[in-house]
Structure 1
Amino acid sequence: MTVRSRIIGCGSYLPSNVLTNEELAKRVDTSDEWIVTRTGIRQRHIAADGEMTSDLAVAAATQAMEHAGVTAADIDMIIVATATPDNTFPATATKVQNRLGVVGFAFDIQAVCSGFVYALTTADMYIRNGQVKTVLIIGAETFSRILDWQDRRTCVLFGDGAGAVVVQAVEGQGTIEDQGILASRLHSDGGKYNLLYVDGGPSSTQTVGHLQMEGKEVFRHAVTNLAGVIREVLADTGLEPADIDWLVPHQANRRILDSTARKFGISEDKVVITVDRHANTSAASIPLALTEAVHDGRIKRGDIVILEAMGGGFTWGASLIRW
């Protein structure tokens, strides 16, 4: 028998404050047409004053646990993927752990937009090594706190939110017919650091800083890197692009989503798209999109699902799952 990591529940949370393109155009030199044409984004959710990343994470986690039918006593480990923690330390995951009443252990992962895939892969390793049985994984971000709201190149792109999944050990036969995570690949390239970064931090400026991005270069690398890592997880399992039932990508830019899908001949109706309503929520974007597609019935048990993302670092990765 082979131990697999199976997602048994999903949850999400979006702040109630919705900022549309039209409203944003009153603050900065932009327009709805300009934003939609270049990104596909029409609106984003913004955390309220005093609403922290941990608050978003707890709300998403609570829904995921309810959906999975588990309690705090069942959770062995919590991983929070975030680039916008409540504090420099301790880990936001420990605050979430305390509020949920979980006794196990908890830590954060920082891989920016790839954070959820990194966290999912890490949880899979713990489960397959027999160290834990049930893991709560959360992607949560308040990117609105690190944006320069006078910079139209960046402030139009991002939003706040959280998504969560509960992953549990199950027995499989060691074949691609097993339910659970079948393959994962992770990559990073620190040489591209200056193309997408935040210009602040405790040991550099002693400030939080603002997000800086070279959009055209990020786009170019994203399409290439994401296509490459999808090929890798397909090759690891012997599956073909035609076997993919659902592509759940990081929701960065509609043009990146479309370009990646075209490279594999994946039709638009097989791509889960939320970027128009959520904008880029970094580590939260994949679990937010996944939760929507699971809860509305699009993703069904037995489906082949690929999750993929690229973020600052650069970091990128993909997971291939039989739902």
Structure 2
Amino acid sequence: MTNAVIAATGLFTPDQSISNAELVDAYNAWAERWNADNADAIAAGELEARTPSSPEFIEKASGIKSRFVMDKAGVLDPARMRPNLAERSNDELSILAEMAVKAARDAIARWGKPVSEIGAVLCAASNMQRPYPAMAIEVQQALGIEGFAFDMNVACSSATFGIKTAADFIASGSVKAVLMVNPEVCSAHLNFTDRDSHFIFGDVATAVIIEAEDQAGAGGWEILGSRLKTVFSNNIRNNFGFLNTAALATGAAPDTPGGPTDKLFVQQGRKVFKDVVPMVAEMIVDHAADLGLEPAGLKRLWLHQANINMNEMIGRKVLGRDPAPGENVIILDDYANTSSAGSIIAFHLHNDGFAPGDTGLICSFGAGYSAGTVFVRKRA
């Protein structure tokens, strides 16, 4: 059996960002207009008035200060409250594939090898642009890669599930190197008129090259072990798709009377926190024990960027103490929750200071419920 290593990573960050203050101004303007338009129903007790938000509320609830997006103007337009991304023809590179290709090219440049050595492409993400053709195959064609490609979706855990899948392909001898991409246009699936969730997500794309150890050059990260877990839950859900678009035919906007409020991202945040934090912490500790690793000895945690409270509590449970500064990486303040890409962004931007033999953990968790752990060791 051939061991796998993480040979390189890449990142694409949109050039537009939205601060909490900007997002709140847009939401509050929308809420004021909504309350005025529905004043009679509110007075009659048929509807509840929309409550204004504040930057302080968002940061306390999530740790988020800003987020990158593919279209700022549409999101901040109180009359629209969603991105305005022009539909492209079937002959043009799709938005999701374009983002993935940019992240992939960054990873390939850092890898320093020709794409002819890559035998498979996986597109592992939450927010797929279409059912088929697979986004991964479009990315494969754009990069001139032979072999095979397919999409996979395990919500926010998609990247760790993708790393595990790639490592298994390498262990079986199917391929020598795999490109995994995680493009996320989360803003296209988010209800920007929901005060409790409109601030959560951002747009981004990441890429990871997983390679057989016997052909990898110096450096990189040995994958010591990867483990996956799923438990069904409706507490995080997104119903949007061609089978569930009947409500959209009315033309009603989300979160308005008759609008498709459940067709975009929805969650029961408190229930998610209560269920997921102990599940993930226990999974990490158990997996570490099976690998002969002491959790407190991990040099760094690169967790899914869910919200600051979840990440901090998982860090404390795993390490058995308050993490030291930089030990439990947080990139939520700048990127927000970027679904499957979050743990990879954290790993990509903050993997410095490791000596050969030092260990760390890439971990993701989210809808499903789903969770994945990938323990890595710095190579010489």
User: With structure 1 as the length reference, what TM-score do the two structures score?
Assistant: 0.92
Work out which of the residue numbers 279, 293, 306 in structure 1 matches 2:350: 293
Q: Deviations over 1:30-69 (max 9, x none)?
A: 2111111111000000113347221111111100011011
**For residues 200 and 179 of structure 1, what CA distance do their matches in structure 2 show?**
37
Q: How many residues get paired?
A: 313
Unaligned 5+ segments in structure 2 are 28-51, 72-84, 87-93, 249-259
- Deviation of the 1:165 alpha carbon: 1.2
**For residues 317 and 274 of structure 1, what CA distance do their matches in structure 2 show?**
19
Q: Deviations over 1:201-224 (max 9, x none)?
A: 223446693101101111112211
Work out which of the residue numbers 168, 174, 180 in structure 1 matches 2:222: 180
Alignment of 1:1-323 (within 5 A): 3-28=2-27, 29-48=52-71, 49-50=85-86, 52-171=95-214, 180-190=222-232, 192=233, 194-205=234-245, 209-263=263-317, 264=319, 265=321, 266-294=323-351, 297-299=352-354, 301-323=356-378
**For residues 199 and 242 of structure 2, what CA distance do their matches in structure 1 show?**
26
Note the aligned Cα RMSD (angstroms).
Answer: 1.9
Q: Deviations over 1:236-273 (max 9, x none)?
A: 21111122011000001011111011112343421121
Q: Deviations over 1:263-301 (max 9, x none)?
A: 12343421121011100000111111111113xx24454
Q: 1:106 to 1:234 in 2, by over 3 A?
A: same
Q: Return the structure number with greater relative CO, CA threshold 8 A, min gap 6.
A: 1
The DSSP-based 3-state class of the residue aligned with 1:113 is coil
**Structure with higher strand content:** 1
**For residues 276 and 185 of structure 1, what CA distance do their matches in structure 2 show?**
28
**For residues 147 and 68 of structure 2, what CA distance do their matches in structure 1 show?**
32
Paired residue type of 2:222: G
Paired residue type of 1:290: F
Paired residue type of 2:376: I
- Deviation of the 1:93 alpha carbon: 0.7
Paired residue type of 2:223: I
Paired residue type of 1:31: S
- Deviation of the 1:146 alpha carbon: 0.7
The DSSP-based 3-state class of the residue aligned with 1:182 is strand
| 1:92 and 1:108 in contact (8 A); partners too | yes
Q: Which has the larger radius of gyration?
A: 2
Unaligned 5+ segments in structure 1 are 173-177
**For residues 31 and 52 of structure 1, what CA distance do their matches in structure 2 show?**
31
Paired residue type of 2:294: E
**For residues 344 and 113 of structure 2, what CA distance do their matches in structure 1 show?**
18
- Deviation of the 1:179 alpha carbon: 5.3
Paired residue type of 2:196: R
- Deviation of the 1:309 alpha carbon: 1.2
| 2:7 and 2:221 in contact (8 A); partners too | no
User: With structure 2 as the length reference, what TM-score do the two structures score?
Assistant: 0.79
> How much identity, in percent, do the aligned residues show?
31
**For residues 52 and 300 of structure 1, what CA distance do their matches in structure 2 show?**
38
